[in-house]
Structure 1
């Protein structure tokens, strides 16, 4: 029987249901398999992202405000070099919080306004967590106002005015690695009264917190011992002539002084002493200077060049650093900067950097408030002794408990005000017009006078 074709235009019948279902399943399985292979092979994986970098609070940034120019330029450049050496050593031995420390420098120009502007730029532009500086108490005071407002720790290697030993003044943001003039003034007064037997002394101080503070401490202590201050004069800095000031001391109604205690920096000191030398026949006296004038090149040598006889000059100062840590610092410093012997306060600047770094490491974060909270604790017993230098810092990173920093400039056991104590010396001139230590007063002796 002949089979009939379907009518024209009629759709063919679909495949049986069972056959279509299996075709669909096969397609799905193939697609899933391809996708799985692609995922495991990494074809469709998102691009690999680099690990996140350190946050700002994981990188310690330190700024320096040093007198690279101006009246204290004898000290600033070596302080900056010492700070840089400390940062290099710390970074060589592992850094702080696992990251290299960053150092930013600025010039105070030995001027309070310039120092304030330098600190502002370091904080606002470089975003530093701590400032080492300044030299000169008046400059440090102007820097401190910026530091307080921005919650940045400040450590001065050379500002010695007693005004900083006051919680209401510094709000606990200020520390120093040089001792307060509350000690130096006492030592100088005792030396003048007891060792030199002076009974009538005049005082001259430059018109800034350093000059005012130290002159006042000397005056108060000398009078308490039974001496007489014939006159105290506070003078402007870096003038071209001080003849009028000196005339005031000798030509007024007061008795002529047996000695003058002079608190100044080299620029003022050289001019005043030159004016005195010109008229020395009418103004006979002995001179005792503060540590601000303890500079061989810019002060003593300059006076000698001008024909002034310096043989009888003396001065007071915190004792010159000594010992194993200081010797090691000098050795590393001179290897880094051949031909340059570190000046006064260079080791204090070096220690300031190490103490900030140690406080940040202990805090676990590079931020002002947290660093501030650790500062006193890392400076004094009890705790594992930590010393500066690459080996010392490497060891410090492995200490889990309390630490006690013993620095190149001394033990630096801070009191509640962030002030270290110190031994003191009287410096004088040898036969070659070189500064040497004439008298030594131990820390215990000094503290016994307070």
Structure 2
């Protein structure tokens, strides 16, 4: 647990100009999430700078690639950003990638703010008070997904999860929730996402013939799905459930129509509002995916508001004010509205596009929404119900 930015992090006032870096996926297994996340960052920065910037100066930005956990790209990107003296870094998307760079970032006294990390490890990590996220931790998504599986009447469940901090952490939470709901996880396989094929992994699930199959992974899930179909474990015979890492509407469009019909899944965060999607499309007209765009937008807006509130763009000053601008003051939306209140001497409570945010003392959102989605015959998903989590309990 932490009480605030540590004095062991590099201190000292900023140079008066807020600089933001991004370490987001341009390549690798989460590359499909890159465009909406970059668009969210760019939209927020556009609005901040159109409103006069932070402390009267425009906010600058440097974009870099995070790659994935199979590469060293993220570490090289962080070196580049630190050399350019950024005050805050937005990213990474994958929890395992963030784990590999968090020490380097926070030791430098720079804020690391992820729009998409969900691993529970970040709740207790030694981050010197400099790590924040707008995505809720896996214990929330896992609980909602496990409850969904149980409420659909599945008393026997198989889990296929990628073996990394994201996959195993989320699988642990789903398993716990299913068991507490009276169900039984009859087989769980934590697989190597880089494996050439998944026939042996799927065969283990087939042996136990579960009513439901939970798929936790990234883009390799498309190969897992093909193997499930090949071995007769189709979605019309077993109920499939997926998660934010593999629910992309681009992953499954090449498959025969109906392959994913009826499949359900969960995504942290509410669906991006239509008006917000239109603004994102002005930034990038080619967007087809909006996952984590709102969380990225909120991350940048909150960093800018924290610097404005502090009157200081240094990472330590930004971190010291992020909790305050996220809750407890006069509610406001968007940078301009909130910044005008700050300039008038008011305390603000930023209400994000992704939700209320309201950071707790370890930089996690204390209020979060988990969306429940369902695929149609076209192998694309549409928004379903949203489940809100607030300080320790889930409410439907």
Q: What is the TM-score when the length of structure 2 is the normalising length?
A: 0.89
1:311: Cα distance to partner? Answer: 0.8
Q: 1:282 to 1:259 in 2, by over 3 A?
A: closer
Match in the other structure for 2:389: 443
1:102 aligned to 2:60? yes
Q: Is residue 114–residue 134 contact of structure 2 (8 Å, CA) maintained in 1?
A: yes
1:373 aligned to 2:348? no
Match in the other structure for 1:333: 280
Equivalent residue for 1:203, pick from 159, 162, 173? 159
Match in the other structure for 1:285: 238
Equivalent residue for 1:348, pick from 291, 295, 310? 295
Provide the C-alpha distance between the structure 1 equivalents of 2:35 and 2:394, rounded to a whole number of angstroms. 36
Q: 1:319 to 1:393 in 2, by over 3 A?
A: closer
Q: Deviations over 1:220-250 (max 9, x none)?
A: 1211222211122211124331101111222
Provide the C-alpha distance between the structure 1 equivalents of 2:254 and 2:354, rounded to a whole number of angstroms. 27
1:215-234 equivalences in 2 (<5 Å): 215-234=171-190
1:296 aligned to 2:296? no
1:403-442 equivalences in 2 (<5 Å): 403-420=348-365, 421-442=367-388
1:308: Cα distance to partner? Answer: 6.4
Q: Is residue 388–residue 394 contact of structure 2 (8 Å, CA) maintained in 1?
A: no
Provide the C-alpha distance between the structure 1 equivalents of 2:379 and 2:307, rounded to a whole number of angstroms. 44
1:130 aligned to 2:80? no
Larger RCO (alpha carbons 8 Å, 6+ apart):
2
1:148-159 equivalences in 2 (<5 Å): 148-159=106-117
1:339: Cα distance to partner? Answer: 4.7
Match in the other structure for 2:10: none
Provide the C-alpha distance between the structure 1 equivalents of 2:345 and 2:361, rounded to a whole number of angstroms. 24
Equivalent residue for 2:222, pick from 247, 250, 270? 270
Match in the other structure for 1:193: 150
- Decide which structure has greater strand share: 2
Q: Which runs of 4+ in 1 moved over 4 A?
A: 281-284
Match in the other structure for 2:5: none
Provide the C-alpha distance between the structure 1 equivalents of 2:391 and 2:81, rounded to a whole number of angstroms. 41
Alignment gaps of 5+ in structure 1: 1-54
SS class of match (1:74)? helix
Q: Deviations over 1:105-138 (max 9, x none)?
A: 1001123632122112211x21111110011110
Match in the other structure for 2:139: 182
Alignment gaps of 5+ in structure 2: 1-12
1:437: Cα distance to partner? Answer: 2.8
Q: Deviations over 1:140-179 (max 9, x none)?
A: 111212112212111111111111111x443422111111
Q: Is residue 93–residue 117 contact of structure 2 (8 Å, CA) maintained in 1?
A: yes
- Decide which structure has greater helix share: 1
Provide the C-alpha distance between the structure 2 equivalents of 1:282 and 1:148, rounded to a whole number of angstroms. 46
